[in-house]
Amino acid sequence: MINSSSDNVKKLNSINRRMFITGSLKFFIMIGIISRLFFLQVKENKKYLTLSDKNRIREWKLAPVRGEFHDYFGNVIAGNFEAYQLHVIPEQVDDFRYVIYRIKDLLELSDKEFKKVIKKKNEIKSWETLIVSDNLSWQKFSKINNHLYDLNGVKPVISISRNYPYKENFTHLLGYVSQANQNDIERTDSIKKNFVPGLKVGKVGLEKTFEEKLIGTNDIERYEVNAYGRRINQLEFQKGKKGKTLRLTVDTEVQKLANDLLKEKAGSICVMDIYTGAVIAMHSSPSFDPNLFVFGISKDDWQLIRNDPMKPLVNKTLQGNYSPGSTIKPIVALSALENGIINTNFTVKCTGKTEMYDQTYHCWKKKGHGFVSLRNAMKQSCDTYFYEIARKLGVDKLSETAKKFGLGEKVFRDLFDIEKKGLIPNTQWKKNALGKGWLLGETIITGIGQGYIQTTPIQLCLMTAQIANGGYKIYPHIVAGDEAKNKPDDYYTPLYENSKNMRIIKDAMFGSTNEVMGTSYRSRIDDPEYQFAGKTGTAQVKKITERERELDLKTFEIPYEQRDHALYIAFGPYKNPRYALSVIVEHGGNGSTTAAPMATKLFKLIIDRHKIREAMNDKKYLEI
Amino acid sequence: MYQHTRLTTNRLGFFQKFRNFDYILLFCILILGFISLATMYSTDGGEVLFHTRSHFVKLIVFTFMMLIISFINIKFWFSIGYLTYLAVIGLLIATYLFGITSSGSQRWINLYFINLQPSELMKVFIILCLAKYFHRMKIENVNSIYTILTSLIIIVLPMGLVIVQPDLGTSVLIGISGIAVLWFAGINHKYFIYTVLGFVISLPFIIAFLKPYQKLRVLTFLNPDRDPLGAGYQIIQSKIAVGSGGIFGKGFLKGTQSYLEFLPEKHTDFIFTLFSEEFGFVGSALLLVIYAIIIYRIIAIGASCRSYFAKIFCYSFGVAIFVFITINMSMVLGLLPIVGSPLPIMSYGGSSMLATMIGFGIVMSARVHNQQIIA
């Protein structure tokens, strides 16, 4: 008994001692867990709260509403329209097969389109939106709406999309929008920032240039999602900003006329305000409907545009490098006058052809013009006269004057990335570019705008404008209000040495249009209100052989690609000039028969529109 | 002589037994049951669905069972110590042979009216068995080779049967329960030190023998970010849930991590995470305090018991409950690798609750019959 109880005491001592050790251990472990909790929940709370929100909140961006383009008078030339679309969320459909076949019947989808939809469906998650059709006609849209009762899970949606109401009229100026690709996203930050699948961005033209301003900002929907990415409920809707609307200086009426005049022809028409540099119209033909690109152009349409021999994809106004032909003559004459090579009394005898440096140079008039002075030579576009003064002037001095008047340089600077510089050759250029010395014969043909010299239609228009305004530097612009913001220092500085020379040139151009024997006499307008002065040009596409010269073929007898380009530059009204234009018709034959008559029609409209334009300005001031 | 007289007068009436109840312990268990019910309601997304209903039924049934156990004399529990152990071993063998396989391990056995996880029961019955084994042992025999070997076999046998299921977590917990008894029985402390040293040294070899998924768990524990969407997902999401709870929590039924299904296993092993997210640091600390009171009461009951068997059972069960709680919490707080171990009472799961309630019942019985001497 004693033994057993002492054993018990010993055992009890041991167990109590060990209980104490265990108890203390438990206490410290408990403290450890509490401090861990404290660390996670109190100290690091912010970090984990952020992580938890990152888990549960997801943003959905919606495509931003693109800014519009307006013409000078506020007409929408690139706007937005409501596109009727059909969306399906596969998981909300009880019987997907039934519904999709039903839709196929209702929309009369072709097998190809149908396969595309099925493929798209397999690529997305079941709770994501499947866009069955992105641009339905009203008829089909209402048909679907009528059948909604047995199409559950199908959502007819109205979405905002780009629309060009004037179709092909502004295509080259505005460009077009289409789905953004990887390149667009990498190139432009604003596209990257606002990107959503199916976002449409500017591909060329002003749509591309002003992407940053036009794009706007996304609507943002914030949803709470579960671990599988399914939306549980909407937390917030943040309305985005519509892109900026840009008002252009162009006049839709003039633009439409330009489009009509050049229908079925390849070429370009530009009209410009000679004092402000505001572009009134700028058209390149043939054009195409930019609306085709908004939802992705079909293969057939694309092939049609791409393979057109008249090259509708080329913006001829900015990208077309043409020999200016006789339209360069005002500059040649001006250069000769400015440099004191000739005066108004200087005469040359034109016999139809002239021998210089073992080469025969022909005047366009076989019989010759006889004795011609500067004014007559301009009026009748006598080539011989200009051969002679170009020879005397030399190409370097000529190129100096030409460059002063805006040739050989981008007219819009960085506004259009596609714009070409043209080429104003001089001796230095040839040495650098071709590694050969300049030949005198080359100077002679440069005098009538042939040879190396190349200009774009917009350059010719700017040149004409600067002659018309009396020889002052202007900077063309398209966006209204742009000129005030960044007026360069040399804006409206004189480009001439002697203003008398400018008057001589303008007078000679007046003669060319309004006097008998003038090359564009037949296109004149006698009413002084509309009266204009101009200069024709006919640019050879290929060298004329002796045989062809003898044949003296009519334009329609020559194959299309070999016909001459027809050019015309003009400004008007002659008294108090305000507008300058350039017309180029590719392979149009003769400047005086093809291009100049277009100017007549254009000036009639431009000058009528001028009053409305002025009234618009006055009204603007009154409102202030 | 005095003892003898006490022995004869020791037959307690029904109301005396009621008086002897530890009401603090009972109250804490009921509170815990209520909290677990509310949490389960939250895991069901604020509706009374399957888990809540099932948990509620189990809670009611097992609480009554605990009360019944506590009314039965501790002598009875002493007498069936070996029998229950052998019965559970039998169930483990049956599980090994005919068990139900679920998510890659064979842990459950179908007893027609209930799917039982015998390994959970073993956590308690191993304590009962070993407590009985050491009850009558003379102090000088405790450290004999024979005793140590026998007790080690008693521990290792169920561990082995559980490890083959495979269920490393439960196996370790069974081992810890058994070792707790050995510790209180007075086995020389140097053995424990040697074992710990031996374990540390052999750790690299043990890792080499681990199954790939177990190795992954260890690696994930060491660096949860190495595979945030795969193996590290659970622990990262669990930490986010706990951490985002803050001081006062996101509010009842407002735990975004759980109701948006970012939390894995939220009914069972990660129930504390959900609780912690919704009730914050304050709530979690309160829960820990309740557990601490329960453990304290178990130890206090052990201290008040006259019989060595009751004492050793209470102390060991106290340690076991403490270890279950700490391992579960450390796991969800990212302090330990993920091993399957439920939080007593809180976690969904009948077997775990059954075992815990049996344990509480025996402790309560020890309290009611604390003057009982077991010869």
Q: How confident is the model at residue A620 (pLDDT cuts 50, 70, 90)?
A: low
* Burial of A5 per CB tally in 10 Å (0-12, 13-18, 19+): exposed
Q: If DSSP states are collapsed to H, E and C, what string results for A337-374? A: HHCCCCCCCCCEEECCEEEECCEEEECCCCCCCEEECH
The mean pLDDT value of chain A amounts to 88
Q: What does the pLDDT read at residue A84?
A: 86
Q: Is residue B321 part of a domain?
A: yes
> Are B292 and B353 within 8 A, CB to CB?
no
Residue B141 placed within a domain: yes
Chain A residues inside the 8 Å CB shell of B285: 34, 37
CB-closest option in A30, A49, A224 to B246: A49
- CB–CB of A597/A269 below 8 Å? no
Q: Which residue has the tokens 């330009």?
A: A258
What pLDDT does A485 receive?
60
Q: What is the 3-state secondary structure (H, E, C) of A204-252?
A: CHHHHHCHHHHCCCCEEEEEEECCCCCEEEEEEEECCCCCCCEEECCCH
**Tokens representing residue A272 in the block:** 């410009």
Contact B315 A19 (CB under 8 A): yes
Structure tokens at A473: 């530097």
In a domain, B373, yes or no: no
Q: Provide the pLDDT for residue B336.
A: 86
Whole-number pLDDT of residue A104? 86
CB-CB contact of A476 with A447 (8 Å): no
What pLDDT does B87 receive? 96
Residue A462 in 3-state DSSP? helix
pLDDT at A557: 79
Instruction: Answer yes or no: is B374 within a domain.
Output: no
Bridge partners, residue A584, by sequence: A268, A567
Q: Do A37 and B138 touch (CB under 8 A)?
A: no
Nearest to A48 among B184, B240, B288 (CB): B240
Question: A446 burial class (0-12, 13-18, 19+ CB within 10 angstroms)?
Answer: buried
Between A261 and A554, residue with greater pLDDT:
A261
Helix (H, G, I), strand (E, B) or coil at A322: strand
Percent of chain B surpassing pLDDT 90:
58
DSSP state of B99: P
When comparing pLDDT for B341 and A403, which is higher?
A403
State the Cα angle at B116 between B90 and B38, rounded to 5°. Answer: 150
Are the beta carbons of B126 and B174 closer than 8 angstroms?
Answer: yes
B342/B324 Cα distance (integer angstroms): 7
- What is the strand order of the sheet B115-116 is part of? B100-102, B105-110, B115-116
* Nearest-by-Cβ selection for A30 from B292, B299, B303: B292
Asked whether residue B41 is domain-assigned, the answer is: yes
Give chain A positions within 8 Å (CB) of B330.
Answer: 33, 36
* DSSP per-residue codes, B217-279: HHHHHH-GGGSTTTTTHHHHHHHHHHHHHTTT-S-TT--HHHHTT-SSSTTTTTHHHHHHHHH
- Determine, yes or no, domain membership for B357: yes
CA B84/CA B88 separation, integer angstroms: 6
CB contact under 8 A, B186 and A45: no
- The two structure tokens encoding residue B263: 């939390």
Chain B environment of A13 (Cβ under 8 Å) = none
pLDDT for the residue B14: 81
Q: Out of B242, B302, B308, name the one closest to residue A41 (CB).
A: B242
Coil vs helix vs strand at B44 = coil
Chain A residues within 8 A of B312 when measuring between CB atoms: 15
Residue percentage of chain A with pLDDT more than 90: 51
Burial A343-360, CB ≥16 within 10 A → b, else e: eeebbbebeeebeeeeee
Q: Dump pLDDT digits (tens) for B201-252.
A: 888 888 777 778 777 777 777 666 666 666 678 888 999 999 999 999 999 9
Cβ neighbours for B310, distance < 8 A, ≥ 6 positions apart? B74, B302, B366, B369, B370, B372, B374
Residues of A near B (Cβ–Cβ under 8 Å) read 7-8, 10-12, 14-16, 18-19, 22-23, 26, 29-30, 32-34, 36-38, 40-42, 44-45, 47-49, 51-52, 55-56, 224-228, 232
- Give the pLDDT of residue B5: 45
Task: Note whether B302 contacts A36, CB cutoff 8 Å.
Answer: no
The C-alpha atoms of residue A206 and residue A197 are separated, in whole angstroms, by 23
Residue A384 has pLDDT above 50, yes or no: yes
Q: How far is B116 from chain A (nearest CA, A)?
A: 31
Please report, for chain A, how many H helices and E strands are present, in that order.
25, 19
For residues A327 and A464, give the distance between their C-alpha atoms in angstroms, rounded to a whole number.
Answer: 9
Contact check, Cβ <8 Å, B262/A33: no
pLDDT at B3: 47
Residue for token pair 């500017």: A202
Q: Nearest CA to A137 among A83, A78, A80?
A: A83
Domain boundaries, position B170: 2-368
Q: Which of B260, B275, B315, B336 to probe the A interface (max A CBs under 10 A)?
A: B260
SS (H, E, C) chain B: CHHHHHHHCCCCCHHHHHHHCCHHHHHHHHHHHHHHHHHHHHHCCCCCCHHHHHHHHHHHHHHHHHHHHHHCCHHHHHHCHHHHHHHHHHHHHHHHHHCEEECCEEEEEECCCCEECHHHHHHHHHHHHHHHHHHCCCCCCCCCHHHHHHHHHHHHHHHHHHHCCCCHHHHHHHHHHHHHHHHHHCCCHHHHHHHHHHHHHHHHHHHHHCCHHHHHHHHHHHCHHHCCCCCCHHHHHHHHHHHHHCCCCCCCCCCHHHHCCCCCCCCCCCHHHHHHHHHHHHHHHHHHHHHHHHHHHHHHHHHHCCCHHHHHHHHHHHHHHHHHHHHHHHHHCCCCCCCCCCCCCCCCCHHHHHHHHHHHHHHHHHHHCCCCCCC
Which chain B residues touch A24 with a CB distance below 8 Å? none
Q: Do A41 and B276 touch (CB under 8 A)?
A: yes
A163-179 mean pLDDT = 91
| CB spacing of A37 vs B276 below 8 angstroms | yes
In chain A, the domains with their CATH numbers are: 60-247 (3.90.1310.10), 252-301+314-623 (3.40.710.10)
- Tally of domains within chain B: 1
**Residue B33 neighbours by CB distance under 10 Å:** 21
Tell me which residue has tokens 């199916």: A198
Instruction: Check whether the bond before B166 is cis (ω within 30° of 0).
Output: yes
* The one-letter amino acid at A64: P
Regarding beta strands A579-585 and A533-539, do their DSSP bridges make them parallel or antiparallel, or are they unpaired?
A: unpaired
Q: How far is Cα of residue A173 from the mean position of the Cα atoms in its chain?
A: 5
Q: Say whether pLDDT at A482 is over 70.
A: no
Q: Does residue A167 have a pLDDT over 70?
A: yes
Please indicate, yes or no, if residue B375 is contained in any of the structural domains: no
Q: Which residues of A touch B244 (CB under 8 A)?
A: 45, 48-49, 51-52
Distance in angstroms (rounded) separating the CA atoms of residues A243 and A136: 25
Cis peptide before A286 (omega within 30 of 0): yes
pLDDT in tens, chain B (375 residues): 444 444 444 577 888 888 888 999 999 999 999 999 999 999 988 888 899 999 999 999 999 999 999 999 999 999 999 999 999 999 999 999 988 887 778 888 888 877 899 999 999 999 999 999 999 888 888 888 999 999 999 999 999 999 888 888 899 999 999 999 999 998 888 888 998 899 888 888 887 777 787 777 777 776 666 666 666 788 889 999 999 999 999 999 888 888 888 887 888 889 999 999 999 999 999 999 999 999 999 999 999 998 999 999 999 999 999 999 999 999 999 888 887 789 999 999 889 999 999 999 999 999 999 888 886
Residue A593 token pair: 């028969």
C-alpha B212, offset from chain centre:
27
Nearest CA in chain A to B296: A23
At residue A359, the pLDDT reads 84
Count the Cβ atoms, other than its own, within 10 Å of residue B265.
17
Q: Please name the residue of chain B whose CA is at the shortest distance from the CA of residue A18.
A: B184
Chain B residue with the nearest C-alpha to that of A28: B326
For every residue of A90-126, DSSP letters joined together read GGG-S-HHHHHHHHHHHHT--HHHHHHHHHHHHHS-T
Nearest by CB to B261, which of A38, A52, A226?
A226
Task: Identify residue B194 by its one-letter amino acid code.
Answer: Y
What pLDDT shows up at residue A328?
Answer: 94
pLDDT tens track for A312-356 = 999 999 999 999 999 999 999 999 999 999 988 899 999 988 888
| Contacts B299 to A, Cβ<8 Å | 19, 23
* pLDDT exceeds 80 at position A463: yes
